[in-house]
Chains A and B, each alone.
Chain A
Amino acid sequence: MKTGKAFWRTLDELADDPSFVERLHNEFPSQVEAITDPTTRRTFMKLMGASLALAGVTACTTQPAEDIVPYVRQPEDLVPGKPMFFATAMTLGGVATGLLVESHEGRPTKVEGNPQHPSSLGAADVFAQASILNLYDPDRVQTLTESGDVTSWPVFITTMKAAMAAQAPLNGAGIRVLTEAVSSPTLAAQISEFVGRFPEAKWHQWEPVGRNNARLGSKLAFGEFVDAQYSIEKADVILSLDADFLASGPGSLAHARQFASRRRVEEGHSMNRLYVAETMPTSTGSRADHRLPLKPSEIEGLARQIAAGVGVGSASAGSGEAAKWAAAVAKDLQAHRGTSLVIAGDAQPPAVHALAHAMNQALGNVGQTVTYTRTAEAEPVDQVTSLKDLVADMAAGKVDLLVILGGNPVYTSPADLEFSKALDKVQTRVYLTQFNDETAERCQWVIPEAHFLESWSDARGHDGTAAIVQPLIAPLYGGRSAHEVVAVFSDKPEQTGHDIVKSFWQAEKPAADFDAQWRRWLHDGIIPGTAFEPKTVTLAAAAVNTPAPAEGGAGIEIAFRPDPAVFDGRFANNGWLQELPKPITRIVWDNAVIASPATADKLKASNSPASRGGEHGTIESSVVEIKFNGRTVRGPIFGVPGHPDDCVTVHLGYGRTRAGHIGNGPGFNAYALRTADALWAGRGAQVTTTDDTFPLACTQYHHLMEGRGMVRAVSLEEFQKNPESVHEGFEAPARTITLYPDWKYEGYKWGMQIDVNACIGCNACVVACHAENNIAVVGKDQVLRGREMHWLRIDTYHSGNDPNRADETYFQPVPCMQCENAPCEVVCPVGATVHSHEGLNDMVYNRCVGTRYCSNNCPYKVRRFNYLLYSDWDTASYKLGRNPDVSVRSRGVMEKCTYCVQRITVAKIESEKENRRVRDGEIKTACQQTCPTDAIIFGDLNDPNSRVAKLQKEERTYALLAELNTRPRTQYMAAIRNVNPELSA
């Protein structure tokens, strides 16, 4: 990839003389890479030049050399100040979500979902939203190193060539490749080609939060690896067996959209009914009409009972609540043959997956609400076995060259495999990574990995739809993609990622005008016609005849779950995600040992608010020690109502030691307890309470509504009988009770509608708001004091008055209400917060002197104050990622949601140019745009045909704290539960 003119200083250099190179190495070891590597040198010079000249940030970014195609406009149309959108895709667990990425003058600043991509439908999850911060993370690996010394790409190529040459006579017996789950057809083909060159070389895969059980379950049921594809919108009755299908896993964005479409009673659909049996309370469980908390070991039993109820296998009818529940669910499923759906969670053993497949088959759902296709993963394997084999080979000293393509296996592999110990026996260890993490510490060759926004690739969505991953920016730190690294081993080091991907698809889908087609794909972000065809599969008899699990032993059960914020640990260095209050627990910056309040009491472990920040800041928790299979970890306990008793849930991804300056430290490492035979759950853990306490930062500890009606909820039956029942017990003052005439909002009158019934509390809106509005990360210490900066928060409430019960859980996103009678405005002494003639409660940062009176007088407490200098004004790379349309706040200034006024302004300018009004739906606030369930609607209330105006007239609509006569513009829609009468008593 030699670009630009070549300059030389000595004839030796011109001749690329080896002795010159050697001298270079001896004299300027730290500069070798800059001098020998043309790309890096160029980038380096540009970066230096830009910062020296203080020429502003635009100068220090480079567009990739190849053509990339903007979503809406051609690159040559680039108008400074006008963002462009490019389609790309991000993978998590191997499966892609199609994205549109906003780019300002060549700098990606904001991620949105790609409406055309079936795994996104326009939404993006927290990880996609936050991925932009990873791109600009100053802790990323910035240079290629060998054993800690900076080296160069050519040296790497030469060394690898030698290593390969040494393996050639051995048929590559010492070569191993370890990847995460791979859905990229190109990469899979490349690795297969590389491994294929050496008959004895092997490719292993390991994904710590993978779908291994789902894969094995499908093999158990059908004899082959298949993916189940759900059509949630067609299902009237859904049973989830510990599946958080609305908020995590492949396709969850699409599932959430489909699910929510059946929860809007206004739209005339019949409402679906969701049953969830689960361990850790999740978003999906909270949306359930009936939720049954069960220990991990009990779920299989329940599944068998329900299966027996719908005619699959046999199980002794148990007794108690679970049995009653199972009977009612089975009856309901039976009553909806062909329109019901059973989904098993990824943490459930293969047997439960097989049972779910069998139930769907028995209920006639196959072909209706569920179809089967080949897997999105290119080469599905039993990953646990795959990793075990690799470790065995490594420990036996059979591995000479190990190429690890991402994934941080030293940190994420099961503790009993002792991966890192075995790794030390490998002669040459090559690791492609974005971070100098735990695995990088133990590998000689550490190659900086290009972020997906910096590299070419491709990936499949959950339904198989392929998308081209196109870069928006040249690698900031000279990173390489997995394609380029594998190309080295395939003896094609000169190939660029772009060429590799493009030539793969040229071979795959040849066309006369391939270039035009390619441009189309890049533009749309999907390759049409690549979604998998449904497959006919036959249920094996063995599927339902698996032996029942042994009865539970003594001790406490333990469940492992991916963290809702840092996932398997890969996002540990992402400040937005670390500071993201996790659904249900609202904890930030830490994981905790989650238990039911009763179990915590039994363990004599407590967690209660401490005076520093109180229930909106510090929860002082007892530290407990978990002993499981001879391994021990310590972590703070946290009681969560709705969690089953005698069981604890720990989340993976914390306790990182080499994540970076943000990720090092927080939480405890649950991987230390996780063994290959108990990846998701295990029995016989011993939990003992220690005398230590630990402060957990928690943004909401009080989940009772105290009869204040923040969330209004009725059953579907009640609602149909009397829609007014939603508002029983609450009244809003009449609009006539005022001494002053109403302000006439001529022109626009902005309003927002939030459907509590649709919200699944997935937090995507919160991160989107973070990214869009340059919101600062304040760190754990400040959250402990109750000073987090989220403009939009998701309040979580449980029904009833017992803090230890969570019969119903509701999520309520709370942005600024943009009150027409805003209490904050009258009390500001300097007029820093003022009402716009369109009804926005504007905040003039420059005018604010910081008396905080506005916040004191805000009944919704949506204002956030910069108690210290929270925005990072120094780190250069972060500056690139900021939204240039929103000012970065200084300390001493109040800030708040303004309905993304910058987006409103852009749309208004566009409409004025065309001499028309802004169309409904033309402006989407950041939270609205990314919402997978369409729970947030923004628009013009003066337009009677706008969605928001229509919704605000609906029966379900209510205003938060309407009795204060603040006249909020943000209004809510009450939740409706489709209760099964058999279970409601």
Chain B
Amino acid sequence: MAQSNQPLADRMEPVAGSGTPIVIAPGHTFASVTDKISSIVLTQRTPVGYYIALLTAAGLAGLLLMSLSYLVVKGIGIWGNNIPVGWAFDITNFVWWIGIGHAGTLISAILLLLKQTWRTSINRFAEAMTLFAVACAGIFPLFHTGRPWLAYWLFPIPNTMSVWPQFRSPLIWDVFAVSTYATVSALFWYVGLVPDVATLRDRAQGKVAQRIYGMMSLGWRGSARHWHRYETAYLLLAGLSTPLVVSVHSVVSFDFSVSILPGWHTTIFPPYFVAGAIYSGFAMVLTLAIPMRVVYGLEDFITMRHLQNMAKVMLLTGLIVAYGYGVEAFMAWYGGNYYEGFMMLNRINGPYWPQYWALIFCNVIFPQLLWFKKIRMNVPMLFVISIVVNVGMWLERFVIIVLSLHRDFLPSSWGMFRPTFWDWSTYVGTIGLFLTLFFLFVRLLPAISIFEMRTIVPEAKVQEGHGH
């Protein structure tokens, strides 16, 4: 990092006359950065609004708990799933959450390897978001099974019943992909937290906080050896995470592309799913970052430069996704397969046409506003677009899953899916769980990496010559 910082730090300076926004507002020092970020956790009074928000989110998480309890007691029948629509909200939500989880790793690992230092102020909470999103995602594959208490049979656990996973099934690949991703993401996030938790430990006033942060910081003293090991570990984890960004959603897409169902059986799915995942992930980062920077006055750290960059990533991945839709439609016609053609027409013109066209509006048409710099610089507009894209990406999964299933090969088995109260409550409940975890995270841990932010203040450049 010492070597890499020199040129990067230069780039952090505002380029005179170019108008390119900066990644950290001028005037910050090591101390001010540390004060500012750690104060959210340690010294600022917690605003009343925070408690209201937390309680609301926790209430929704309680709804999730209730929904899942009822589900285990009664069965999947409380949802609207049926034959032919065996998967509906459950897997839609799973893919949506997993997709959201992608931004964190992408920002942390790939941008780190690509030396995009602007990532510094957003990577921490993006990683946290990843972790929480994966937790929400993991709920669905577990509870969508008819007998969730036996879902452990999907893991290769030696047992006397000779139950062993059937490795040709993409669901088994999912198990490995998602659990690996969850593990690596958690490690990556925690390792990155260690120096900052140590800072909190040192600054904490209360005994309890000192103890807890003390334990969490794993004896970090900031010695050169610590830093050296730390850098190596962090880079290694970044290297490990990078393929995961691509692999997880590719594997998730195999759930569909390996099947024979028109609308699922498509080779374009892996790249298209990965792009969609990054698209939705960045939309979610924006959705979270925009209110957070306002509430906690973090405009200095999460600057317009960050918002713009994220908007650009969204624009790019959104175009890839749009290309995917186009290719799907084109191949349905060009492939000459009757069932594929029907599937496409049914999306456009079938009973679920509102959902399909809403998806096209949310994911393809509306985000084209991001071409305009004015829009990219307009924070409320960015927030609206990020929400629209979140909705659109959820609709995309709904369209792929439900619209392909509801009218497949034999017209005699065509049907429809209508969500029940419990479908909605489970979905909304996971959003509640996600927000609850996020609120707790913002309040209890540094939401922005303190030590990494310190490397980009001008002061860091001064120290450079002396080495450390």
Contacts and interface: CB of A to CB of B under 8 A. Distances in A.
B168 interface: yes
Nearest to B404: A856
Contacts of B50: none
A666 interface: no
B416 A615 contact: yes
A827 B415 contact: no
Contacts of A864: 83
B85 to A, nearest CB: 8
A787 B150 CA distance: 23
Interface of B: 74-78, 80-87, 144-148, 150-151, 153-154, 163-166, 168-172, 175, 255, 258-261, 338, 342, 351, 405-406, 408-418
Give the interface SS of chain A, mostly helix, strand, loop or mixed.
Answer: loop
Given A859-B410, A961-B410, 15 more contacts: A609-B416, A611-B417, A613-B416, A705-B411, A795-B410, A828-B169, A829-B165, A847-B163, A852-B81, A853-B86, A853-B259, A856-B86, A857-B259, A861-B410, A861-B413
Interface of A: 609-617, 700, 702-708, 710, 782, 785-787, 793, 795-797, 812, 814, 823, 826-831, 847-853, 855-857, 859-861, 863-869, 890-894, 960-961, 964
A-B complex: 8 closest residue pairs judged by Cβ atoms: A850-B146, A892-B146, A614-B416, A616-B415, A867-B77, A852-B86, A786-B82, A868-B77
Nearest to A788: B83
A860 B410 contact: yes
Contacts of A827: 168-171, 258-259
Contacts of A869: 75
B413 A611 contact: no
Contacts of A787: 77, 82-83
A289 B380 CA distance: 69
A613 B412 CA distance: 13
A892 B76 contact: yes
Contacts of B81: 852, 867
B165 A863 contact: no
Given A829-B154, A829-B165, A849-B153, A866 B411 contact: no
A831 B260 contact: no
Contacts of B78: 868
A855 B148 CA distance: 18
B76 A829 contact: no
Given A705-B411, A850-B145, A861-B413, A855 B83 contact: yes
Contacts of B76: 850, 865, 867-868, 892
A960 B261 CA distance: 16
Nearest to B416: A614
B171 A611 contact: no
Contact of A829 (B74, B166, B258): B166
Given A859-B260, A869-B75, A795 B82 contact: no
Most chain B beta-carbon neighbours within 10 Å: one of A704, A856, A859, A894 = A856
Given A615-B415, A847-B163, A857-B259, A785 B82 contact: yes
9 contacts: A708-B409, A786-B82, A827-B171, A850-B76, A852-B144, A856-B87, A865-B86, A868-B74, A891-B147
A853 B165 CA distance: 14
A869 B146 CA distance: 10
B346 to A, nearest CB: 11
B51 to A, nearest CB: 40
Contact of A961 (B144, B168, B409): B409
A830 B152 CA distance: 10
B410 A852 contact: no
Contact of A616 (B170, B342, B413): B413
A831 to B, nearest CB: 4
Contacts of B171: 827, 829, 851, 853
A912 B243 CA distance: 56
A612 B417 CA distance: 6
Given A850-B145, A852-B86, A831 B409 contact: no
B410 A851 contact: no
Nearest to B339: A708
B83 A786 contact: yes
A354 B260 CA distance: 59
Contacts of B151: 849
A829 B406 contact: no
A891 B146 contact: yes
B80 A612 contact: yes
B8 to A, nearest CB: 46
Contacts of A617: 82, 415-416
Nearest to A609: B416
A868 B148 CA distance: 13
Nearest to A812: B412
A453 to B, nearest CB: 34
A616 B407 CA distance: 10
Most buried by B among A705, A849, A894: A849
A271 B342 CA distance: 38
B81 to A, nearest CB: 7
Contacts of B84: 616, 786, 855-856, 861
A861 B409 CA distance: 9
A796 B410 CA distance: 11
B83 A793 contact: no
Contacts of B405: 856
B351 A614 contact: yes
Given A827-B259, A856-B87, A866-B75, A614 B409 contact: no
Contacts of B168: 826-827
Nearest to B74: A868
B256 to A, nearest CB: 9
Contacts of A850: 76, 145-147
Nearest to B175: A829
B123 to A, nearest CB: 34
Contacts of B258: 826-827
A960 B412 CA distance: 13
Given A829-B175, A830-B166, A702 B411 contact: yes
B409 A964 contact: yes
Contacts of A702: 411-412, 414
A707 B341 CA distance: 13
Nearest to B151: A849
A408 B257 CA distance: 58
A447 B147 CA distance: 46
Nearest to A787: B82
Contacts of A705: 411
Contacts of A861: 83-84, 408-410, 413
Nearest to A710: B410
B415 A795 contact: no
A797 B412 contact: yes
A833 to B, nearest CB: 9
A830 B409 contact: no
Given A612-B80, A708-B338, A851 B416 contact: no
B147 A892 contact: yes
A786 B407 CA distance: 13
B409 A849 contact: no
A849 B152 CA distance: 9
Nearest to B413: A861
A793 B412 contact: yes
Which of A708, A852, A865: most chain B Cβ within 10 A? Answer: A852
A432 B146 CA distance: 46
Nearest to A614: B416
A850 B141 CA distance: 11
B146 A795 contact: no
B75 A853 contact: no
Contacts of B148: 849
Nearest to A847: B163
A20 to B, nearest CB: 53
A284 B80 CA distance: 37
- Name, among B81, B255, B411, the residue most crowded by chain A CB atoms within 10 Å (CB to CB): B411
Contacts of A892: 75-76, 145-147
A928 B95 CA distance: 44
Contacts of B172: 829
Contacts of A823: 259-260
B97 to A, nearest CB: 18
